[in-house]
C-alpha cells in the first residue's frame, strides 16, 4: 500500500472493486438459484418438506453472517473440508442470500391473486405453464424492489469478507488506514465507492419496475 498521496490511497481502494463485485455477483447467483428449490420446498404440500425448508431458512437468517464465515473457513477444516478465503466468503454470503431470496420469491408468488391461478386452470394450462406464464411475471414485479434492496445490502455485506483476509474494498481501506493514519479520509472514500457501486442497481430496479408496469398495463 502506498501512502505518498491521496490519489495512491484512492487507487488502492479502487483496486478492490473487482473483487468486491465478484463476491457480490457470485454470492447473489448462488442465492438466486438455491432460493428456488427452497421456496418450492417451502410451498410443498408435504408437511415434513415444508418444515425442513422453514428450518433451513430460519437457521440461515438467524445466525450472524460473520459466524457463518468463521464456521466455513475455520471450523470446517477440522472435518477435512477446506475452502479458500474467497470461496468461504462466497459460500457464506450465498447461503444467507438463498434464504432471503426464498422469502422474496414466496412473497411474490403469494401476491398473485388466487383468481389468476383458477383462471389458468380453467383454460387448461398445465401447472408448469401456469407457474411460468402466469405466476412468475406477476410475482417478478413484486419481487424486484426487495431483490434490489437485498443486492445492495449484499454489496455492502461483502465487507465482512475482509475478516477472512479477502482483499476487497474494506480490507484495503483497513490496511491503508493502518499505514497512513488517515482513517477518516480513507474510510470516507471507501463509503463513497460503495455508494457509487450501489447506484446502478437502484437505477436498474426502477427501470425494471417501470418496464413491467407498462408491459402488464398494455397487456
Q: How wide is the angle at C-alpha 184 spanned by C-alphas 65 and 199, nearest 5°?
A: 60
Distances (CA, A) of 25 to 13, 28, 32, 35, 168: 19, 5, 10, 15, 13
Asked if the model's pLDDT at residue 123 lies above 60, the reply is: yes
Instruction: Say which residue, 102 or 210, is predicted with more confidence.
Output: 102
Please tell me the predicted confidence (pLDDT) of residue 119: 81
Which range has the worst mean pLDDT, 40-49, 96-105, 205-214?
205-214
Per-residue pLDDT averaged across 93-122, rounded?
Answer: 89
Among candidate residues 20, 16, 3, the one with its CA nearest the CA of residue 185 = 3
The CATH code that applies to domain 6-218 is 1.10.3720.10
Asked if 71 and 163 touch (Cβ cutoff 8 Å), the reply is: no
- Which has more pLDDT, 136 or 150? 150
pLDDT single digits (tens) 15-65: 999 999 999 999 999 999 999 999 999 988 899 999 999 999 999 999 999
Confidence check: pLDDT of 129 > 70: yes
Place of cell 447473489: 28
Residue-level pLDDT at 1: 43
What pTM value is reported for the model?
A: 0.87
All structural domains of the chain with their residue ranges? 6-218
Amino acid at each position: 500500500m502506498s501512502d505518498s498521496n491521496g490519489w495512491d490511497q484512492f487507487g488502492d481502494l479502487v483496486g478492490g472493486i473487482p473483487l468486491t463485485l465478484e463476491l457480490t455477483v457470485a454470492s447473489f447467483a448462488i442465492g438466486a438459484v438455491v432460493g428456488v428449490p427452497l421456496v418450492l420446498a417451502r410451498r410443498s404440500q408435504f408437511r415434513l418438506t415444508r418444515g425442513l425448508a422453514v428450518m433451513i431458512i430460519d437457521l440461515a437468517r438467524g445466525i450472524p453472517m460473520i459466524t457463518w464465515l468463521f464456521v466455513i473457513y475455520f471450523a470446517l477444516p477440522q472435518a477435512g473440508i477446506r475452502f479458500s478465503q474467497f470461496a468461504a466468503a462466497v459460500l457464506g454470503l450465498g447461503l444467507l442470500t438463498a434464504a432471503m431470496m426464498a422469502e422474496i420469491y414466496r412473497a411474490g408468488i403469494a401476491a398473485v391473486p388466487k383468481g389468476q391461478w383458477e383462471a389458468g386452470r380453467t383454460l387448461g394450462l398445465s401447472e408448469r405453464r401456469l407457474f411460468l406464464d402466469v405466476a412468475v411475471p406477476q410475482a417478478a414485479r413484486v419481487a424486484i424492489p426487495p431483490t434490489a434492496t437485498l443486492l445492495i445490502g449484499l454489496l455492502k455485506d461483502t465487507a465482512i469478507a475482509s475478516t477472512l483476509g479477502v482483499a476487497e474494498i474494506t480490507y484495503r481501506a483497513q490496511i491503508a488506514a493502518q499505514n497512513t493514519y488517515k482513517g477518516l479520509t480513507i474510510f470516507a472514500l471507501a463509503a463513497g465507492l460503495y455508494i457509487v457501486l450501489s447506484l446502478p442497481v437502484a437505477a436498474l430496479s426502477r427501470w425494471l419496475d417501470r418496464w413491467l408496469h407498462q408491459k402488464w398495463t398494455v397487456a
